[in-house]
Amino acid sequence: MKQVAIVMGSVSDWPTMQASATILNELQIPFSKHVISAHRMPAQLQDFGQQAVTRGIDIIIAGAGGAAHLPGMLAANTVRPVIGVPIESHALHGLDSLLSIVQMPAGVPVATMAIGVAGAKNAALQAASMLALQDDQLQQRLLDYRAAQTQKAIESEAQLD
């Protein structure tokens, strides 16, 4: 099975990024968790990105707030796909994070999700879709997950009574 790394700039990002971990657990995708600050740990960030392949990491989900350099800097140091999750900030409610992540220069792509928990969930689902390209069992688990979502939505109509 493939490996996903969840990386965040600060432990304060965990309440958002935990949503990625929950989905990955549900889909039985192995992952690791890391705190690597782009601003306070630049050498560790570079090392992590450059060694992602040898560490068996296939996809990096990177959550960052504020200036949000983490996803882009990781992408600059690895050929592995990086999925950025903008963390909601206090000053600009995550818009600063979103723009910092999504505005990467040509040649250094970062797939960028929505701000906050929805983005963290979708990052895990995007990683699962990418890994499922070569894993039929994971593809089936992803199909089952989507079928369960559909069923919950159908059943939710009863709450309107």
Residue ranges of the binding site: 10, 13, 40
Give, in order, the Cα–Cα distances in Å from 114 to each of 57, 63, 88, 149, 160.
Answer: 23, 11, 10, 19, 28
Indicate the length of the chain as a whole number: 161
- Please name the amino acid found at residue 130: M
Q: What is the DSSP pairing of strand 59-64 with strand 82-86?
A: parallel
Residues placed in the known binding site for substrate = 10, 13, 40
C-alpha distances out from residue 122 to 24, 25, 34, Å: 11, 14, 19
List own/partner pairs for 138-145 with CB under 8 A and 24 or more apart.
138/1, 138/27, 138/28, 138/29, 141/27, 141/28, 142/27, 145/26, 145/27
